[in-house]
Structure 1
Amino acid sequence: MAERIRTHDWSATALGAADTWSPSLRATISLLLGCGFPMIALWGRDLIQVYNDGFRDLMGLKHPAGLGQPTRECWPEVWHINAPIYDRVWGGETFTFEDALYPLSRSGRVEDAWFTLTYSPLRDEAGEIAGILVVLLETTARVLADRALRESEARFRAELEQQVQERTAELQASRDLLKATMDSSMDMIQVFKAVRDASGEIVDFEWILNNHTSESLYGRVRGESLLERNPGVIQEGIFETFKRVTETGQPSTAEHHYVHEQFDGWFFQCAVKLGDGVATTTKEISAWKAAQEEVLRLRDEIAQAALRESEERFRALARLIPVLLWRTDEDGRHNSLNEAWLTYTGQTPQQSQDGGWLEAIHPDDREAASAAFRTGREQQRLIEVQQRIRRHDGQYRWFLVRQAPIVDAEGQVTQWIGAAMDIHDLHDLQERQAVLVAELQHRTRNLLGVVRSIAHQTMVQTGPTERFREQFNDRLAALSRVQGLLSRSDQEPITLRTLIRTELEALGGGDYADRIHIAGPPVRLRKASVQTLALAVHELATNARKYGALTSEHGRLSVTWRADADDRGGGTLLIEWIEEGISRPREGRGPTRRGYGRELIEQAMPYALNAKTRYELGETRLRCAIELPLGERFGAISTA
């Protein structure tokens, strides 16, 4: 979109020719193009549209005609929805709508689409509102999937209710239990920052993030005190757990019966360290707890009935509940299991007897599981473990397992009732959360280090002047483009050619296309090398545009590279930047004789990337050679 915006005939629009645009409009368009989210700016009272690549994909058949078009002409089908919003934004308000329905015509027909959108005012140099910024994320697929899931659940619930109605009156409570299990909600995800006193002791935690599920219970609590909103966390030991995780870095998983503030239920909570605080994932398990209590409640009825009748009742109940259930004698030798256990593990009832059920437990968990069940039976107390159980296809999944004793009137254990709930997704979420936290912290530290170095080096060269602001902004823009490439690197690997073209085009390289030659084989770059290499290319391109070959119509720029791989998976990558036809020595034109870019190439790159560099500047020619080891910072050369 950067090229299309640059070449668009803006003089035919209310914005006028691009060279007459205000700095605020130019800054807004730079923000759009550097952002990975779909964004569109509506400028002026005519609301002229300027959008980025992400928004272009949402335009459908309305692109490219929609560029530079008043939004009312482009989207007449939703003008009745948007017009009141735009009026209020012109008044200085900001709006965010989640999963808003918009009937759009973007593929030749009107179709329903859902979006999460933010409308905010854009101000000019005088602080007056000059336009509207719209940032959005299409949620159509998720909304339709949720709707389909709810419809599927409703059909399934009706079938279950019909089955329950056919059972005896004694099993009426089981229908409610099954319904509670099926109506489980989404998890809450929260992030807290530690609040410390003058001595460094943690005295509170402050909310810094709440997901949608959590917001539906708490509202917007960013910046608020945990102890003021939820004093019950002290009584339940949750506050001490958060402190311990923050100080030691050791994750915690725990089950809490929380009856405080607006809550009344059981929760399974995972907490991991995040910066100077914790990130938590909380799943409500009240329905599962209720199911367990209901099973225990039935023990007296089972004990009073005849053995045959009680056995039939247990089997009927076990078939209805979608968790793994079993009943065993007082010694734990003979088991009666529900269909869910047999279907999941693939075991027969005979294979599960006399400790045979241990064969379905992960080898690494068997000893601990056996010891926990043995100790629980000896002490006649509730048994609780987390262990992996093998599915019939060989895959292991994590389960929260509980087994409780049933005692007679004399207090003797007559049998045990057990249940296992699948918590594999919670374990996966905790592991992914820890990986994402580590990656976020690593990238943030690296980025802050680069920004600090850029500011220091630029200040050394320019002092706190307007020139410092200009050069520092240019370098931050280059850094922003690098982050844009990195944000898409999982879907679109970063190549050396892409990096070089990105920097040249950002500095107006398209105006000199006939004087720039770029050639070399496909080379994929590793993320760790992209930032430093991009800053070096940015400095070379900036100098070429201001002082070098691109300042003269006779100048020529050539950027080539070649890779020499060896048999051991290593080798070298040689990049050559050559400028011909420099009109006079670069030192005579530049503000300093030896600038930040040259120091970055000759000093920072050897240190950061183990590179060998050579910088040769003559009166009419510049040659910069960068030799990098393939085996350390760069990936294999792709022939595709």
Structure 2
Amino acid sequence: MDRSGSPPVQPVRGEMAGRIRAYDWTSTTLGAAETWPPSLKATISLLLGCGFPMIALWGPNLIQVYNDGYRDLMGLKHPAGLGQPTRACWPEVWHINAPIYERVWAGETLTFEDALYPLTRSGRLEDAWFTLTYSPLRDDSGAIAGILVILVETTSRVLADRALRESEARFRAELERQVQERTAELQASRDLLKATMDSSMDMIQVFKAVRDASGEIVDFQWLLNNHTSESRYGEVSGQSLLERNPGVVQEGIFDTFKRVIETGQPATAERRYVHEQFDGWFFQCAVKLGDGVATTTKEISAWKAAQEEVLRLRDEIAQAALRESEDRFRTLASLIPVLLWRSDESGQQNALNEAWLAYTGQTLPQSQDGGWLEAIHPDDRDASQEAFRVGREQQRLIEVQPRIRRHDGEYRWFLVRQAPIVDAEGHVTQWIGAAMDIHELHDLQERQAVLVAELQHRTRNLLGVVRSIAHQTMVQTGPTERFREQFNDRLAALSRVQGLLSRSEQEPITLRTLIRTELEALGAGDFADRIHVAGPPVRLRKASVQTLALAMHELATNARKYGALTTEHGRLSVTWRADRNEQGDGNLLIEWIEEGISRPRETYGPTRRGYGRELIERAMPYALNAKTRYELGETRLLCAIELPLGERSGEMSTA
């Protein structure tokens, strides 16, 4: 947090990073940014660095903080939406979001695909579709303090799918017209089926799961029947499903109900049911409702009888329909900025959109008969091919994350999915696939793993240094007030080093910066006219900073308490020079000279011959391969430190 009140977010580029830093957060329930918990700061840094649209809703009022991607979805609601309670910003969808937020506050993580939201982001109410994930955000104590929403707008795809369905509906109407022209008998049957469906009502039933002592579902109990269902069953509220309809076990309906409750995924199926009082074909949809299921059942016996004749007629126009379907797929696929393809039932490609051809540089013939594998990175090719083979054999969704070569030779990470399309008999007729570029997200995850590993390594090293400092100080001072004072001073020096290391990726650490930091921490500004610091630019390696900083701290502390800075005529000179040979190696010589010391150092106690001198004369040669010289006279102190210089030394280099 700087003095202007900007929030302490990482220096991420983008409009929203600047807006968040400049925003007056004291006008919200979040309060001044310097009081924010680390968990909130970390969340803001995460969403600002992410390319996907993300928004954090923090606190009981769900105050909005969002990134550039989410800003692009807000329309005219930006920039007023920043720092605004989400209910005030999006009142038109509060009836949708409020129940979701309550579940997330209770600890759930919810994902919705192609969810409809009527929004007024452009000044008028319009429908928009999104794929969203709502996740709880926890504060530093582990309690839920907010909600993280990650979303991708799918309006274009949903509208394209709707257009495809409408087009297919026109195809079905044309098919019905041809059926009507070809046979009067089929027309009569079709009219009868339509009249039956129009005049009938579906059976709607709600069941509650019955569980044993171990929690296993062993039965279902009727909770609700509509009038159509009661006309077939009579009054069955509170009765056992297995007692009234034991055939549900044989037909797999009982296991389907259990699976719906356990997975939360709806299930639909056509079944021939010849048990109890039933004998016919039924289409049933089951969805989870609490700890039970809600079902809708429609009798389709008449429709199944007509279906055979419809399929016969469909085969006669299959070739014409296939050509029309191909043209329709290519037209729609060319409008979507995602790599898309369609394959026949055997998995051989027969249609790709322009995005695939433009990205990979392949021609349509080159991509056929498995040629698309040439665009997959060699290291990912076998795994991708195996995943597609197994998915086709098991007729299930295929998902892999390979690297795909761009036309210029660069490989980028993609999320690839391919799903089967099945007919009424459950046979796969074709496959639809899509690939989304996730290269930036993949790189972000890898960088995060590296940073965590480096943090763990630094923490272990830092604990070792603190333990050594405490031990050496206690040996010299014992458990006295002097121990507390010296230990706190050395921990403060160590803290300053960690501050420099934390910024080293953006601001390299130089020898001058290290020396100035230690001198200024001891109030050297009051003696600026008596201190001389000079030398060429030298950039320090991270491995050498900690030990060298502690040495500079010990020298500066002794100069301030016992040495040249305790007398009016005392002078301190800190200089360094770099001697490099033709091979790029050499030495860095640092000379710390104090002149005008009033009395011999030995009369001032053990500090000059204690931890600081031990660190310089023993620890530095061991840790940094240094050569040191420490000469203390009655009026002058010379401390010379010679360190390896150059890339091969692994320690430091001239800038």
TM-score bracket, normalised by the shorter chain, equals 0.5 to 0.7
User: What corresponds to 1:560 in structure 2?
Assistant: 575
Which residues in structure 2 correspond to 1:392-541 (within 5 Å)? 392-408=407-423, 412-541=427-556
User: What corresponds to 1:69 in structure 2?
Assistant: none
Q: Distance in 2 between matches of 1:189 and 1:394?
A: 41
User: What corresponds to 2:358 in structure 1?
Assistant: 343
Structure 1 pair 312–331 and aligned structure 2 pair: CA distance change class (3 A): same
User: What corresponds to 1:183 in structure 2?
Assistant: 130
Question: Superposition RMSD on alpha carbons, in Å?
Answer: 4.9
Question: What is the CA distance between 1:529 and its match in structure 2?
Answer: 0.9
Q: Distance in 1 between matches of 2:403 and 2:473?
A: 56
Q: Could you say which structure has the larger radius of gyration? A: 2
CA contact (8 A) 2:573 2:592 kept: yes
CA contact (8 A) 1:101 1:115 kept: no
Q: Deviations over 1:222-278 (max 9, x none)?
A: xxxxxxxxxxxxx9xxxxxxxxxxxxxxxxxxxxxx99999999xxxxxxxxxxxxx
Question: What is the CA distance between 1:541 and its match in structure 2?
Answer: 0.7
Question: What is the CA distance between 1:634 and its match in structure 2?
Answer: 3.1
Matched, 1:388 2:403: yes
With 340-349 and 611-620 compared, the bigger mean Cα shift is at: 340-349
Which residues in structure 2 correspond to 1:181-220 (within 5 Å)? 183-185=130-132, 213=148
Question: What is the CA distance between 1:322 and its match in structure 2?
Answer: 4.1
CA contact (8 A) 1:100 1:116 kept: no
User: What corresponds to 1:312 in structure 2?
Assistant: 327
Query: Where does the alignment leave 5 or more consecutive residues of structure 2 unmatched?
Result: 12-19, 37-43, 50-64, 79-112, 118-125, 152-214, 216-258, 267-310
Q: Distance in 2 between matches of 1:181 and 1:635?
A: 57
Q: Distance in 2 between matches of 1:352 and 1:175?
A: 34
Structure 2 counterpart of 1:359, one-letter code: E
Question: What is the CA distance between 1:573 and its match in structure 2?
Answer: 0.7
CA contact (8 A) 2:628 2:639 kept: yes
Matched, 1:637 2:572: no
Matched, 1:102 2:24: yes
Q: Distance in 2 between matches of 1:427 and 1:140?
A: 16
User: What corresponds to 1:117 in structure 2?
Assistant: 32
Which residues in structure 2 correspond to 1:64-463 (within 5 Å)? 101-102=23-24, 117-118=32-33, 145=68, 148-151=71-74, 183-185=130-132, 213=148, 306-378=321-393, 380-408=395-423, 412-463=427-478
Q: Deviations over 1:55-104 (max 9, x none)?
A: 9x9xxxxxxxxxxxxxxxxxxxxxxxxxxxxxxxxxxxxxxxx9894399
Q: Deviations over 1:507-555 (max 9, x none)?
A: 1212222221222111111111111111100100111111111111122
Question: What is the CA distance between 1:430 and its match in structure 2?
Answer: 2.0
Query: Where does the alignment leave 5 or more consecutive residues of structure 1 unmatched?
Result: 1-36, 41-50, 58-97, 105-111, 122-136, 156-172, 194-205, 217-234, 236-257, 266-299
Q: Any idea what SS the aligned residue of 2:324 has?
A: helix
Q: Any idea what SS the aligned residue of 1:561 has?
A: strand
Q: Deviations over 1:293-325 (max 9, x none)?
A: xxxxxxx99998922333234334434544322
Q: Any idea what SS the aligned residue of 2:515 has?
A: helix
Structure 2 counterpart of 1:634, one-letter code: E
Q: Any idea what SS the aligned residue of 2:576 has?
A: strand
Question: What is the CA distance between 1:491 and its match in structure 2?
Answer: 2.4
Structure 1 pair 606–181 and aligned structure 2 pair: CA distance change class (3 A): farther
CA contact (8 A) 1:39 1:54 kept: no
Q: Any idea what SS the aligned residue of 1:393 has?
A: coil
Q: Distance in 2 between matches of 1:374 and 1:464?
A: 71
Structure 1 pair 571–263 and aligned structure 2 pair: CA distance change class (3 A): farther
Give the number of the structure with larger relative contact order, counting CA–CA contacts within 8 Å between residues 6 or more apart: 1
Q: Deviations over 1:132-190 (max 9, x none)?
A: xxxxx9999986846741246999xxxxxxxxxxxxxxxxx99979x999734579698
Structure 1 counterpart of 2:537, one-letter code: P
CA contact (8 A) 1:326 1:338 kept: yes
Structure 1 pair 565–100 and aligned structure 2 pair: CA distance change class (3 A): closer
Question: What is the CA distance between 1:576 and its match in structure 2?
Answer: 0.9
Quote the sequence identity (%).
69
TM-score (norm 1): 0.57
User: What corresponds to 2:200 in structure 1?
Assistant: none
Structure 1 pair 151–393 and aligned structure 2 pair: CA distance change class (3 A): farther
Structure 1 pair 552–174 and aligned structure 2 pair: CA distance change class (3 A): closer
CA contact (8 A) 2:138 2:146 kept: no
Q: Any idea what SS the aligned residue of 1:183 has?
A: strand
Q: Deviations over 1:427-483 (max 9, x none)?
A: 222211210110110111122112221111111111122111111111111112212
Structure 1 pair 147–401 and aligned structure 2 pair: CA distance change class (3 A): closer
Question: What is the CA distance between 1:373 and its match in structure 2?
Answer: 3.0
| 1:579 aligns with one of 582, 594, 608 | 594
Q: Deviations over 1:87-126 (max 9, x none)?
A: xxxxxxxxxxx9894399xxxxxxx9999734669xxxxx
Structure 1 pair 152–464 and aligned structure 2 pair: CA distance change class (3 A): same
Which residues in structure 2 correspond to 1:33-44 (within 5 Å)? 37-38=1-2
Question: What is the CA distance between 1:191 and its match in structure 2?
Answer: 9.8
Structure 1 pair 406–484 and aligned structure 2 pair: CA distance change class (3 A): closer
| 1:611 aligns with one of 622, 626, 632 | 626
Q: Any idea what SS the aligned residue of 2:630 has?
A: strand
With 462-471 and 482-491 compared, the bigger mean Cα shift is at: 482-491
Question: What is the CA distance between 1:382 and its match in structure 2?
Answer: 4.3
Q: Any idea what SS the aligned residue of 1:213 has?
A: strand
Q: Any idea what SS the aligned residue of 2:367 has?
A: coil
